[in-house]
C-alpha cells in the first residue's frame, strides 16, 4: 500500500509539470529531484502524455538533468571504492551524455577483449614482449585508432565510450584509458602519467609498483604503443618534478578535468558545459593534478610530439 501511494504521488507530481506558476513548478521540480533516478521511468512514460512545447521541453530537460545527477552520484561513490573499476568509471562519465549506453554492453565487450588478449599473453613473462603483443592486439586485431589527437583539434564524441565501443575510435586520451584497462586486467603494469595534454603511459616493473621511480619504460599511444627507453625518459622525469604515475581514480580525475577544459573552450551548448563541470567536480582534482592545460606539450616548446625516441 505504501508503494502504491508513493507511485501515485510521483504520478501526481509529473502530471503538474506544465504548471504556469514559477514557484509551484520549482517546488514540483525539487520534489522530483529529491527522488533522483527513481523519477526517471515516470518522466519517460509522461513524454507522450501531452504534446505542448512547454510540456515536452520541461520533461526532456528534467530527464537530462536527472541523468546527469545520477551519473555524478555514481562517480562520487565510484572514486571511494576500495578497488574501483576504470571501465565502469569511464561508463558512468559517458552515461551523462549518452543515456542509451548500457553498462552490460560495455562490460561484455571488454570482458571479451580481455579474454582474447589473455590467450595471446598467457605464455609470455617478458614485459616488453607482452607490450609488443598487446600493441598488436589493440591496434591491429581490435583496430582501435585515434580519430583526432587532442593537440590537433576537438571532437566531443571522441571523449566517450560509444565511439570506442561501436567504431573502436577515440582521441589519444580515451584510447589511453582503454589500453591501460586491458593492460592492467592482463597484469601488465601500465599506468597513465599525469600529463595534461600529451598522452604517455608508463610501464612499471610490477603491478604493485606504480611510482615514478619504478618506471621501466614509457608507451606513446599516439605512435601505436611505441615503447620509449627509460634512459630517454629519465631527464624529463627528473626535470619535471610534478610528473607522477596515476592510479585508477587519478587517471579518470585527470581525464574529467581535460574534458571540462576542452568543453569549456570549444562548446556553445550550455548543458554540455554544465555537465562537464559537474562531472569534474564530482571526481575532484587528483592530488598531482598539473594546471597547464592549453599550453601544449610540457616536454617541448616546439611541437606536440614527445621529443623522445621509441625503442
- What is the pLDDT, as a whole number, of residue 219? 96
The structural domains of the chain, with segments of one domain joined by +, span 2-78, 86-283
- What is the pLDDT, as a whole number, of residue 307? 46
**What global pTM score does this model have?**
0.87
- What is the pLDDT, as a whole number, of residue 297? 38
Nine-digit cell at 115?
Answer: 579474454
CA-based nearest residue to 47, from 57, 37, 32: 57
- What is the pLDDT, as a whole number, of residue 166? 95
For residue 157, what are the CA distances in angstroms to 71, 97, 134? 17, 10, 25
- What is the pLDDT, as a whole number, of residue 310? 60
- What is the pLDDT, as a whole number, of residue 288? 79
**Domain topology for 86-283:** C8orf32 fold (3.10.620)
- What is the pLDDT, as a whole number, of residue 302? 38
Low-confidence ranges of the chain (pLDDT < 70): 1-2, 239, 291-311
- What is the pLDDT, as a whole number, of residue 210? 84
Quickly count: other Cβ atoms within 10 Å of residue 29's Cβ. Answer: 17
pLDDT in tens, 56-94: 888 888 999 999 999 999 999 999 999 999 999 999 999
Amino acid at each position: 500500500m505504501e508503494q502504491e501511494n508513493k507511485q501515485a504521488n510521483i504520478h501526481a507530481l509529473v502530471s503538474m509539470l506544465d504548471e504556469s506558476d514559477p514557484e509551484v513548478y520549482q517546488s514540483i521540480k525539487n520534489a522530483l529531484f529529491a527522488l533522483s533516478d527513481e523519477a526517471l521511468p515516470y518522466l519517460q512514460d509522461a513524454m507522450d502524455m501531452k504534446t505542448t512545447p512547454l510540456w515536452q521541453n520541461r520533461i526532456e530537460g528534467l530527464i537530462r538533468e536527472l541523468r546527469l545527477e545520477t551519473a555524478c552520484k555514481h562517480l562520487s561513490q565510484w572514486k571511494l571504492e576500495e578497488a574501483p573499476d576504470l571501465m565502469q568509471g569511464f561508463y558512468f562519465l559517458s552515461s551523462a551524455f549518452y543515456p542509451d549506453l548500457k553498462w552490460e554492453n560495455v562490460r561484455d565487450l571488454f570482458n571479451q577483449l580481455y579474454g582474447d588478449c589473455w590467450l595471446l599473453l598467457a605464455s609470455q613473462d617478458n614485459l616488453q614482449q607482452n607490450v609488443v603483443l598487446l600493441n598488436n592486439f589493440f591496434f591491429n586485431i581490435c583496430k582501435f585508432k585515434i580519430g583526432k589527437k587532442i593537440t590537433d583539434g576537438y571532437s566531443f564524441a571522441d571523449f566517450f565510450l560509444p565511439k570506442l565501443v561501436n567504431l573502436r575510435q577515440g582521441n589519444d586520451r580515451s584510447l589511453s584509458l582503454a589500453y591501460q584497462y586491458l593492460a592492467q586486467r592482463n597484469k601488465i603494469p601500465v599506468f597513465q602519467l599525469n600529463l595534461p595534454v600529451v598522452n604517455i603511459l608508463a610501464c612499471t616493473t610490477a603491478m604493485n609498483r606504480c611510482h615514478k621511480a619504478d618506471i621501466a619504460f614509457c608507451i606513446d599511444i599516439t605512435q601505436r604503443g611505441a615503447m620509449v627507453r627509460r634512459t630517454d625518459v629519465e631527464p624529463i622525469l627528473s626535470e619535471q618534478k610534478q610528473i607522477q604515475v596515476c592510479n585508477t581514480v587519478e587517471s579518470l580525475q585527470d581525464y574529467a578535468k581535460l574534458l571540462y577544459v576542452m568543453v569549456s573552450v570549444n562548446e556553445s551548448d550550455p548543458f554540455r558545459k554544465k555537465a562537464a563541470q559537474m562531472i569534474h567536480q564530482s571526481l575532484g582534482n587528483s592530488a598531482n593534478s598539473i594546471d597547464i592545460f592549453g599550453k601544449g606539450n610540457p616536454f617541448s616548446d616546439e611541437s606536440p610530439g614527445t621529443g623522445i625516441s621509441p625503442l
